[in-house]
Amino acid sequence: MKKILVSALLVGAGAIGWWIYYDASQPGKYDAFAKCLEEKEVLFYGTFWCPHCRNQKAMFGKSDKYLPYIECSTADGKGQLPICNEQNISGYPTWEFADGSRETGELSLAHLAQKTGCPL
């Protein structure tokens, strides 16, 4: 009985491991959209500690790795990095577009698509 239980646990762990590997190897739903934002010279300023920035990234799912993201916080979370100081970033998230306009706050994917012309 113990061997059957151990075997079942090993099979289950193997299946979970395979699924994690398989899922990670699949493209994200918004890969092309996130890449288009970068091609359109959009910048996304945020911080690791900002809940709105985390929400914004979560909208992209695993495609968030392609976002044109710029981290503004120092590692201790108590200061702002020079790149964001130089750009006068005062709220997070801040989106900057190729035409120089900026919008602060969580933006819907539909709004980003409309603003940039990137297909959603």
pTM higher than 0.85: no
Interacting residues of 62 by C-beta distance below 8 A, sequence separation 6+: 24, 28
CATH, residue 35: 3.40.30.10
Domain count, the chain: 1
**Per-residue pLDDT tens digits for 31-83:** 999 999 999 999 999 999 999 999 999 999 999 999 999 999 999 999 999 99
Residue 13 in domain? no
Domain containing 64: what range?
31-116
Residue 57 in domain? yes
Spatial distance between the Cα atoms of 31 and 51, rounded to a whole number of angstroms: 22
Residue 15 in domain? no
Spatial distance between the Cα atoms of 82 and 16, rounded to a whole number of angstroms: 43
Count each helix (H run) and each strand (E run) in the chain, helices first: 5, 4
Q: Determine the pLDDT at residue 3.
A: 64
Q: Determine the pLDDT at residue 79.
A: 97
